[in-house]
Structure 1
Amino acid sequence: MKKLFFIVIVLVTHIVNAQTARIKGVILDEFNAPVEGVTINVNKTGTVSDATGFFLIEVPANIDLTITFTHISFKKSTLKLNLKPNEDFELNPVMSSKVEQIGEVVLVGTSNKKRIEGVTAIDPVIIRKIPGANAGVENIIKTLPGVYSNNELSTSYAVRGGNYDENLVYVNEIEVYRPFLIRSGQQEGLSFTNTDMVENVDFSAGGFQAKYGDKMSSVLDITYRTPKKFKAGLEASFLGGSLTFEGISKNNKWSNITGIRYRDNSLLVNSQDTETNYRPQFADIQTLFNYNASTKWQWSFLGNISQNKYHYQPLTRQTNFGTINEPIALLVYYEGQEKDEYLTLFGAVKSVYQYNDKNKLKFFVSTYHTQEQEYYDILAQYRLGEVDANIGSETFGDVIYTRGVGGQLTHARNDLDALIVNVETKGFHELNEKSQIEWGIKYTREDIRDRIVEWEVIDSAGFSLPAPILEYQNDQPYNSYNGPLAPYHNIRATNFTKIDRISGYAQWNRRGNIGAHQYWLNAGVRAHNWQVESEEGKGKSQITFSPRAQFAFKPNWKKDMLFRLSSGLYHQPPFYRELRDADGMVQPNVKAQQSFHVVLSNDYSFKMWNRPFKLVSEAYYKSMTNVNTYTIDNVRIRYKADNNAEAYAYGFDARLNGEFVPGTESWFSFGYLKTEENYDNKGYIARPTDQRLKFGLLFQDYMPNIPNVKINLNLVYNTGLPGGSPSYADPYDYQFRLKDYTRADVGFLYAFKDETIKSDKKWLRRFNELSLGLEIFNLFNNQNAITNTWVRDVYTKSQYGIPNYMTTRVFNLKLVARL
């Protein structure tokens, strides 16, 4: 009996002593930015803060604890606690700078890291508030210097002379992809990124590090939020809506954030020249699960299901162009319809293993599957005529004289099924307080099944226009035509393509001092090996090496200035779209395009009106070889797939941002760009994305007497792009430009409650944010063109480029509620 009693006492004592508590929180720096990579030690237990600064650690209860926070860039912090069993203790420490103060500014933490790397960080709150026809991350990206776009219905953008396929996009370090068959911006509907789930947005327009993948233009690096408590959000407008939920389990090991979105572009499309029956359905659901298995292991799953149904039935169109003295109009009457559908499934598992304070491993497995169809049969019967320009006339604005008539029948039955699987490992090792090594290796398998059936028949004044590639003389109606009957444009191909890729990188980071000055150095190299297999057989195995380096220098001046120099080789091994030529056939031996970057930049932080401001300026040059030339129709890119060109791009970008209005961030952007290509030694001509000047303005304001009323303005001006060329035409013969692109979107918001507006009203207590807004898209009702429709007139022996105008002025109401 005594032995049993003794055993019970021992077990009870052991159970009591084994009881635990939890400490969680978010670690911030002196500028309230989250700090990643802080090591938290409690007695013999440890963990590390994630990208959002969040940490969670399980500790013994009922004993005295000593908690230490250590980081390479901050002073060590220590705290003593004694927690009760099962207690959840929230601790949000603010870490102080470890480095010496230089002048009046201290370089610390995450803000310092991004500044050194030349990365632009964008506040997610700004992204959610700034109006735009296609609001989201890309809407803000287009206001930055070096970023160009003239299509408000598209999330596509070009950076410093590159095209839409040359931009990397990561979500939680996982590369994401765009649909393949998207031809028009109005078909896109939703971008992958769900703005309501975003925690951090970083963007680099060039000269980025080796750890980022194999594209030539830019990197958009997005981190989704790790929930700390239950929250819910709702957005609703005439363009659609979204719901977001997030929460965390009682033991703080599990967390989830889920977003559901729906969008309908009818409001915007119905403002265009073409009258249509338009029935779009764009919807998706995204979810992010996080699991803290232990203080060393963290797991997450990111999933996405997206479905776009685009049903389009054009009815009529009238587009006026020409000059004031000689106005011309194109009238089109349509028959037929277009039905496009895109179903995308995406899933990714990420695991992080922090096996000690200085070493970390990351593991990724992701799968992307898309099924896409593009079906249309549209007959367009047109007449081209002179417009009555006499004000006061009963027929003012109508066509009074017809120059020519014609018709165009287009047909497509395109199907694509693509499966992309990625397996990747990354490592981070801290050698000492001044040096770190990063590395990674990735295997990718791409399996694409593609059927293309497209043809186009054109007639003018009753005479069929045969394909221009056929070699014969056509002099109808003077002599009868005895040649082959063929459509003007015809593509038929079936491709079964498999691509195996192995890529990897290694880079070294170091910081130090030269006298009283500070410097940072990053040097690394990427390697990429790939092989394409098609029905005709396997292509040759190809490999590229891309050395890259960055050097940042901060002189010991009173003025807070930082200088950066970035350089390196950037290879872009061909993706499936780049392998497919103008005839729809896959060319398996297409080489990687190569670009040599040099970027010189200055970062100047200062105070004006006793508020913080920053001026960032960059000069850049790119020399490109093995260039795969292309044409752009709306957002569809078609490549020659022959690597038979060279090109260059150079320019200057500047951005001034700060608190022009106290408590709000605004910025002005300016960019100058020149990019040209030389195909087959014919001479240099402007590339399709040669947009010379760019001005961007993002401005936030509020009424001082009525602080609940807030104003957000998004304004972009770009000089005109090259206007493109008809099918099978020589781009060297078509070098005129579209009109300049000017667009202003403004939002008026009444905030009942938000992060700056507080309220004691009972009905508002549950809300963290509640607002109602009016948005005006294209405030000044500018006519902006995206491409040209080419109309041929046999009678006058002329060919006209008819601008395809984008949206006009549109009004939208928006409701936002967040718990």
Structure 2
Amino acid sequence: MNSNKLSGVFILFWISFSSFAQLVKVKGTIVDTENRPVNNVNISFSGHTTQSGVKGNYVIKVPVNKKINLLFSHVTYKKTSISLLLKSASDYELNLIMKETEEQIGEIVVSKDKKSQIDGIVTIPGTLIKKIPGANPGVENVLKTLAGVNSNNELSTQYSVRGGNYDENLVYVNEIEIYRPFLIRSGQQEGLSFTNTDLVQNITFSAGGFQAGYGDKLSSVLDITYRKPTQFAATLEASLLGGSLAVDAVSKNKKWSSVTGFRYRNNSLLVNSQETETNFTPSFIDIQTNINYKASDKWQWSFLGNISQNKYDYQPLLRRTRFGTIDKPMMLTVYYEGQERDKYNTYFGALKSTYQFSDKLKFKFITSVFHTLEQEYFDILAQYRLEDNETTIGGDTYEGVSYTNGIGTQLNHARNDLDALIINTEIKGLYNWKDNNLEFGLKYTRESIRDRIAEWEVIDSAGFSINPPILDFSREDQPDTSFTGPLAPYQSVFATNYNTINRFSAYLQWNAKSNLEKAQLWYTAGIRMQNWSVSGTNSSGNSQTVFSPRAQLAVKPDWEKDMTFRISGGYYYQPPFYRELRDASGAVQDNVKAQQSVQVVIGNEYNFKMWQRPFKLVSELYYKALTDVNTYTIENVRIRYAATNDAKAYAQGLDLRLNGEFVPGTESWFSFGYLKTEENSADRGYIARPTDQRLKFGVLFQDYMPAIPGMKLYLNLVYNTGLPGGSPSYADAYNYQNRLNDYRRVDIGFSKVLIDANSKKIKKSWLGSFKELAIGLEIFNLFNNQNAITNTWVRDVYSKNEYAVPNYMTTRIFNVKLNAKL
């Protein structure tokens, strides 16, 4: 039996251990009036009892559609009784403050998590993020299992949503917009995502049709909240890919609190599993902190800071790639000289102040600064041989070279530098009255970019320099007749840009709730405005303004079945960022207009019980009509824009997600997505866009052994149909519509919990100092699938052919991980 079959049998064997019996969970945190966690609180109803842990956390299972009295008692504090009636199959969070006087709290009737159900967002608990295995673990790793979110690169944290590209996604941390480096060309250069999973409290995600309160992008919003600690704690993680340390701190008077994280990442384990033999010396390091200060009940302050240093030293040595068909197996052998040295240093700081002017009115003031210094230097000489191979039919071994089809040399050079400074100042307000609230905001952004591009590529085949296709040189009789024209690099980009972009944006949004007979209605209507001007190199200071009206309606009928229906949409604009202003030659085009789309999203959320446990089925049908499209090509993760606005496009699809407790006490989901997106450039006809990911299937699954509850399993499975990629970056997309092979990947993780909140402390042992301790094994690419991200194009002047040689991603890899909490 081969390894793939053994792996499949093992997974089925593991899942067979699952048992099925669970009620809806009520969970939360119990603190005293000084915001200190209270442990050993007894929580009980009808003979069912549990206790709060050392951090005040508790979980208790209660029935649905049955009124209960939940009693909280403690030897130091007075009893608290809560009358609770849950009408939803979803878990409910109930946080409590224990007081010195006894208190009877009125009846609470809970129907569902209104925020996610009404707004159509996905809520992901922060505790789930660190558990799910992946070559690039973190928030993005979990997002890629959702319908509508696609990525064919496990080394990258970037993702596309419903036909959009990587630059069309908004990311916020504590309501502060986050930026990423500009010059990243390959996923293995990225190192660390901005989001530190050790600091995360909660995550919400919208895949389209989002409200006016969010920014001006076309595709999605990722909104992350960092936690506010209540007591000292420390979390440590170490693995073969690096390590992290996070520390929670709280002052004695509880006015100050901070959570600080340090991370180190080394991708050698992943890169060395690829076909290219390398000397690889990466160094990805960052430190991040979130500091909170409660000046008074009305005024609060917070600071979010991050310093990141990513060094990428890469020296390729040898590559052997086997490709072709059974009838014609081929092999590309490449011998390398030279190296690549890249460096990305980013500095980010944001100050946020919240002022509660009155019970109804609240203001937020946000100022942030992002500074990135980037360099991309490489000189790599590749000498290649393209060969026919002898092989055993039906086998997987190649026995030798029967014929050499081509010999050539490729030299790539770059000296690219970028210095970007982005400053934001923003004021936001929220006014509540009865069942209505009004949100508003005003923001100023200044982007200063200094950019130098100097890169070229020279190709030599069988001793003859290949000229670029853009030059009209006759080459039909080579090599029989010598070429007498000028020599030119096959590709070259030379440009120096000094530009400043000033932006003013504002939004106004109204939210309301009402009833129509017995149905509940939620309305949202809003409008955004942005004005921007570009000055500097190749710019005359032209100013442009756009308005973006958006609306949303949610309806919950008075049905026996728990269903909510939503429709949302409007006009969405994406004013160009610096990369969208820069064309393929490196020149800035200040007249590039904002891409715009008309979006409509129709959704349904159905909560139900299966096996006496909560489940939820979410379905969304969407359509986007795009105009003033700025076409682009994608090479690995680098995007190059045409900067012309000469295209129109559309995206349409269906997203489905079923999540719930397939195994008692754990949350898992299965997702499916269908997408079709095409563009028509300069009226040449519709062709597939680079992000035309037709079918998507994702699974995030958690399990444990009932006989050994401390032994847990986490499964991350993604299947995507092939993208229309792999063409040369300089090629005309209308001449290359080949698709890459389907992307198939399974990552699995096993964890043995040695100590947790329910474990008896071993005070006499060194283990007694840990609150949590676990050791794990992760297997990336479990079935060892060969997934290609792009193609290397090899040219031969004798046959006049170009061969697409797949650039394969990582193979099967084993990783060992240790997690500890003090």
Give the TM-score range, shorter chain.
Answer: 0.7 to 0.9
TM superposition shift of 1:394:
14
TM superposition shift of 1:754:
3.0
TM superposition shift of 1:97:
3.8
State yes or no: 1:777 paired with 2:783: no
State yes or no: 1:302 paired with 2:304: yes
Given residue 728 of structure 2, which amino acid in structure 1 is its aligned partner?
Answer: P
2:154 corresponds to which residue?
152
- Using structure 2 for the length normalisation, give the TM-score: 0.87
Cα distance in 2 for partners of 1:142, 1:683 equals 31
1:376 corresponds to which residue?
378
Q: Given the alignment, which residue of 174, 179, 182 partners 1:180?
A: 182
Cα distance in 1 for partners of 2:339, 2:743 equals 30
RMSD after superposition? 2.5
- Using structure 1 for the length normalisation, give the TM-score: 0.88
Q: Given the alignment, which residue of 793, 796, 800 partners 2:803?
A: 800
State yes or no: 1:520 paired with 2:522: yes
Change (3 A) 1:95 1:813: farther
Change (3 A) 1:300 1:687: same
Given residue 107 of structure 1, which amino acid in structure 2 is its aligned partner?
Answer: S
1:813 corresponds to which residue?
816
* Preserved CA contact (<8 Å) 1:622 1:650: yes
* Preserved CA contact (<8 Å) 2:210 2:221: yes
Change (3 A) 1:377 1:765: same
* Preserved CA contact (<8 Å) 1:724 1:731: no
* Preserved CA contact (<8 Å) 2:163 2:651: yes
* Preserved CA contact (<8 Å) 2:33 2:97: no
- Secondary structure of the structure 1 residue equivalent to 2:708: coil
1:695 corresponds to which residue?
697
1:347 corresponds to which residue?
349
Given residue 438 of structure 1, which amino acid in structure 2 is its aligned partner?
Answer: E
Change (3 A) 1:361 1:747: same
* Preserved CA contact (<8 Å) 1:77 1:95: no
* Preserved CA contact (<8 Å) 1:345 1:370: yes
2:111 corresponds to which residue?
107
Given residue 734 of structure 2, which amino acid in structure 1 is its aligned partner?
Answer: Y
Cα distance in 2 for partners of 1:747, 1:526 equals 44
1:208 corresponds to which residue?
210
1:718 corresponds to which residue?
720
Cα distance in 1 for partners of 2:148, 2:213 equals 22
User: 1:181-580, aligned counterparts within 5 Å?
Assistant: 181-390=183-392, 396-432=398-434, 434-474=435-475, 475-580=477-582
Deviations 1:177-222 (A, max 9, x none): 0100000000001000000100010000000000000000000000
Given residue 646 of structure 2, which amino acid in structure 1 is its aligned partner?
Answer: N
- Secondary structure of the structure 1 residue equivalent to 2:153: coil
Q: Which runs of 5+ in 2 are unaligned?
A: 1-31, 39-43, 45-49, 51-77, 83-91
1:786 corresponds to which residue?
789
Moved more, 112-121 or 803-812: 112-121
Moved more, 189-198 or 528-537: 528-537
Cα distance in 2 for partners of 1:122, 1:768 equals 24
* Preserved CA contact (<8 Å) 2:752 2:774: yes
Deviations 1:82-117 (A, max 9, x none): 69xxxxxxx99998546xxxxxxx435xx2112210
Given residue 441 of structure 2, which amino acid in structure 1 is its aligned partner?
Answer: G
TM superposition shift of 1:793:
1.3
Given residue 284 of structure 1, which amino acid in structure 2 is its aligned partner?
Answer: D
Cα distance in 1 for partners of 2:783, 2:670 equals 19
Change (3 A) 1:184 1:113: same
* Preserved CA contact (<8 Å) 1:26 1:92: no
- Secondary structure of the structure 2 residue equivalent to 1:566: strand
1:622 corresponds to which residue?
624
- Secondary structure of the structure 2 residue equivalent to 1:733: coil
* Preserved CA contact (<8 Å) 1:744 1:777: yes
User: 1:728-739, aligned counterparts within 5 Å?
Assistant: 728-739=730-741
Cα distance in 1 for partners of 2:202, 2:545 equals 34
Change (3 A) 1:156 1:512: same
Cα distance in 1 for partners of 2:550, 2:713 equals 42
Cα distance in 1 for partners of 2:95, 2:237 equals 41
- Secondary structure of the structure 2 residue equivalent to 1:720: coil
- Secondary structure of the structure 2 residue equivalent to 1:203: strand
Given residue 767 of structure 1, which amino acid in structure 2 is its aligned partner?
Answer: F
- Identity of matched residues, %: 65
Cα distance in 2 for partners of 1:556, 1:394 equals 61
Change (3 A) 1:194 1:672: same
Given residue 302 of structure 1, which amino acid in structure 2 is its aligned partner?
Answer: L
* Preserved CA contact (<8 Å) 1:26 1:93: no
TM superposition shift of 1:758:
2.5
- Secondary structure of the structure 1 residue equivalent to 2:579: helix
May I ask how many residue pairs the two structures share in their alignment?
A: 740
1:24 corresponds to which residue?
35
TM superposition shift of 1:616:
0.2
* Preserved CA contact (<8 Å) 2:669 2:699: yes
Cα distance in 2 for partners of 1:523, 1:232 equals 43
2:26 corresponds to which residue?
none
TM superposition shift of 1:725:
2.1
TM superposition shift of 1:726:
1.7
Change (3 A) 1:606 1:93: farther
Given residue 146 of structure 1, which amino acid in structure 2 is its aligned partner?
Answer: G
Change (3 A) 1:587 1:270: same
Cα distance in 1 for partners of 2:204, 2:294 equals 25
2:61 corresponds to which residue?
none
Cα distance in 2 for partners of 1:323, 1:343 equals 44
Cα distance in 1 for partners of 2:502, 2:151 equals 32
Given residue 159 of structure 1, which amino acid in structure 2 is its aligned partner?
Answer: V
TM superposition shift of 1:706:
1.4
TM superposition shift of 1:622:
0.3
Change (3 A) 1:92 1:115: farther
Change (3 A) 1:629 1:321: same
